[in-house]
Amino acid sequence: MSKRTLLITVLALTGAVLAGWWLYSDRGGHAGRGAPAVDVGELLGAAGGTEGYAIAVEPREFVFPRDHGAHPDFRNEWWYFTGNLRGGDGSRFGYQLTVFRSALGPRPRGGASAWATRQAYMGHLAVTDAGAGRFRYFERFSRGAAGLAGARSDGMSVWIEDWSVTATGNGAWRLKAAAGEGADAVALDLTLDPVKPIVLQGDRGLSRKGGGAGNASYYYSHTRIATRGTVDTAGATREVEGTSWMDREWSTGILEAGQVGWDWFSVQLENGGELMFYRLRRAGGTPDPHSQGVWVLPDGTTVGLADSEVAVDALDRWQSPRGGDYPAGWRIRVPRLSLDLELRPVLEDQELDLLVRYWEGAVDVTGRHGAQDVAGWGYVELTGYTATSFH
């Protein structure tokens, strides 16, 4: 694997200093690689200061496709794709592709050099191969200059080296990403076609994560995206179909003091409904009252859900061989909707041991909605369950 050297400072979701010596690198695998872990609460707080940046304080008008593009006046931004896919041979895959943008400073950097930039990018790619019982994950960093990484400001076009999501011109997007060598190699080439309206999360797209000014993000989702294409694992290519989910957020400071992480759930049911809920956690594991979610009906109509309306109970625990104790399996109940769901991980170990260590993986879903049995699939993200210092 080739590596070229570049000092990247302040690369994370808040612009906090994330030291590294990469211009380009793919890092990952299944066994832990001893990466320096960074505390997600520190990264998403406002410790780095907000002066000179735009902040999310009130609802705004969203304009599409423009808002699929970059918002460089804010310190942090991400394009988050997850999905569950099946091949004609019965194979089952989960995937994640995330591109994070972080501003190095609030003002444009001058100079005529093609390398001049105030934007740095980080990408995460992960593939769950259920049949093989294998989970592969990779991380890469680059600066937003010389075409190495970037995002257009007028629509969906984001890339970090050869990982990319771009508009196809007919309302769909093409997602391409490949990494690894030999038995660890994975590659995705997928067409993503949104089939339901955009969901503006929170208060008309303003998602409050705390009580202070700026403890919020602008957040919207595509909760059901028809997906088809190919997945390549260890040299075997399979035609696949399934559904994806996209989350888009941008902000300058999200978490407030005392918040240490979150549990995020996305569920897609076979009957056409979707559920999103994030449970923010405070020190000691106490749920934060700013947690919230949304129920999306088959016709795209939405029902906002407050923290008090959703009960989440862990059904089991999983001990990471890299250190850390995670919930593993969940019961989610929403009495207001007569919804009672059970989520089970496709694989226990879907932990990404990267610069920020977290668990994110595909889940199977069963349960009841009113008098009907329901089934589906989804993704779960768990942060803040591991050591909080560099190691």
Contacts of 14 (CB under 8 A, 6+ apart): 42, 43, 44, 45, 46, 47, 48, 75, 76, 102, 252, 253
196's tokens: 């339901």
Question: How far apart (Å, rounded) are the C-alpha atoms in residues 58 and 37?
Answer: 33
The domain locations on the chain are 27-382
Q: What is the pLDDT of residue 234?
A: 84
Whether residue 42 is predicted with pLDDT greater than 80 in this model: the reply is: no
- pLDDT band at 107; cut points 50, 70, 90: low
Q: Which amino acid, one-letter code, is at 97?
A: L
Nearest to 298 by CA among 191, 193, 197, 194: 197
- pLDDT band at 113; cut points 50, 70, 90: low
Whether residue 25 is predicted with pLDDT greater than 50 in this model: the reply is: no
For residue 65, is the peptide bond before it cis, meaning its omega torsion is within 30 degrees of 0?
yes
Across 330-335, average pLDDT: 98
DSSP secondary structure letter of residue 126: E
Q: Which residues on neighbouring strands pair with residue 292, listed in sequence order?
A: 278, 306
Residue 187, CA atoms < 13 Å, CB-side half-sphere: 15
Question: How far apart (Å, rounded) are the C-alpha atoms in residues 8 and 385?
Answer: 26
Higher model confidence: residue 368 or residue 20? 368
The lowest-confidence range among 104-118, 172-186, 216-230 is 104-118
Across 267-288, average pLDDT: 92
Whether residue 274 is predicted with pLDDT greater than 50 in this model: the reply is: yes
Q: What is the pLDDT of residue 268?
A: 98
Whether residue 239 is predicted with pLDDT greater than 60 in this model: the reply is: yes
Per-residue pLDDT of 119-166, as tens digits, reads 999 999 999 999 999 999 999 999 998 899 999 999 999 999 999 999
- pLDDT band at 259; cut points 50, 70, 90: confident
Coil, helix or strand at residue 170: coil
pLDDT > 90: what percent of the chain? Answer: 71
110: left (phi over 0), alpha (psi -120 to 50) or beta: beta
Q: H/E element holding 227? A: strand 216-233
Count of residues in the chain:
391
339's tokens: 């919804």
Whether residue 390 is predicted with pLDDT greater than 80 in this model: the reply is: no
Residue 142 near residue 113 (C-beta atoms within 8 A): no
Nearest to 262 by CA among 225, 214, 301, 207: 207
**Domain boundaries 27-382, CATH class:** mainly beta
Q: How many Å is the maximal CA-CA distance in the chain?
A: 65
Q: Which ranges of the chain does DSSP label H, i.e. alpha helix? A: 40-43
